[in-house]
């Protein structure tokens, strides 16, 4: 027998979803253990118990840990599976295999909305994913945003002001102009929160239209020249940096 673990942790160890997402699915009655509806906080023995999610048996594919960076294209949803049948980010790294040649399933750390592109981290290391997505975590995320029209410096400065999202004020955001031409202004946003569609909602609040939103860095981990739709393994230094954040 193996050591008993919470079902939510088992989901992260299997590379299915984060603990918080798993807890929501358990509460929704979508998870079974040995044919019975699972309960929140329930523990299992992975070597003995059979866990089902939406009618499919969930198995741990590998004990190896994988950490990758994907340059997500626009139009791709940031989920490990999509109930509407849309292409999700895991489809773009379906060729990932472990040292034994077995397929490895990784899941996204956090979200990047369907209309946005750029850097997305994926892993099957549930502990690291849980740490990096925790609300108290403060690793900055850097976005380059192409805005329709020419904005003055005062107009750019107010974009970072706090706004209400779901009844709670956002933390002020650092905003700076990167470039400008006759029709567009490119602005950098540095976020520490990452609330739902936060940058888009901040710009909407000031009547500013976004033409493109691209995440270019998560802390010191930078997108660089990775082609759109492609992925690469994180370097040892990048993994160590994220683990220490």
E strand or H helix that includes residue 236: helix 236-244
Tokens of 197: 């569609």
> Which residue numbers are catalytic?
113
Strands 210-218 and 117-123: parallel
d(CA 229, CA 233): 14
Which residues partner with 31 through β-bridges? 53
d(CA 243, CA 221): 12
DSSP codes joined into one string, 176-217 = EEEEE-SSEEEEEEEESS--TTHHHHHHHHTTPPEEEEEEEE
Count each helix (H run) and each strand (E run) in the chain, helices first.
6, 17
- Given a contact cutoff of 8 angstroms between Cβ atoms, the answer to whether 96 and 82 are in contact is no
d(CA 93, CA 41): 31
d(CA 100, CA 196): 38
């Amino acid at each position: 027998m193996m050591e008993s673990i919470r079902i939510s942790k088992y989901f992260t160890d299997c590379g299915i979803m984060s603990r918080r997402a798993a807890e929501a699915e358990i509460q929704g009655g979508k998870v079974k253990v040995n044919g019975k509806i699972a309960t929140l906080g329930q523990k299992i023995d992975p070597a003995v118990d059979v866990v089902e999610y939406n009618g499919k048996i969930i198995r741990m594919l590998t004990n190896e840990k994988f950490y990758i960076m994907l340059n997500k294209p626009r139009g791709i949803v940031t989920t490990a599976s999509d109930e509407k049948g849309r292409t999700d980010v895991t489809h773009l790294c379906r060729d990932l295999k472990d040292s034994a040649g077995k397929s490895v399933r990784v899941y996204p750390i956090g979200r990047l909305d369907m209309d946005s592109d750029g850097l997305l981290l994926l892993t099957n290391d549930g502990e690291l994913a849980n740490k990096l997505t925790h609300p108290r975590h403060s690793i900055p995320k850097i976005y380059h945003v192409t805005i329709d029209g020419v904005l003055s410096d005062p107009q750019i400065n107010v974009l970072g002001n706090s706004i209400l999202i779901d009844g709670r004020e956002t933390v002020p955001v650092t905003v700076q102009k990167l470039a400008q031409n006759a029709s567009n202004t490119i602005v950098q946003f540095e976020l520490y929160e990452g609330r739902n569609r936060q940058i888009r909602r901040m710009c909407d609040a000031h009547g500013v239209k976004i033409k493109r939103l691209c995440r270019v860095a998560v802390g010191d981990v930078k997108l660089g020249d990775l082609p759109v739709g492609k992925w690469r393994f994180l370097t040892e230094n990048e993994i160590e940096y994220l683990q220490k954040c």
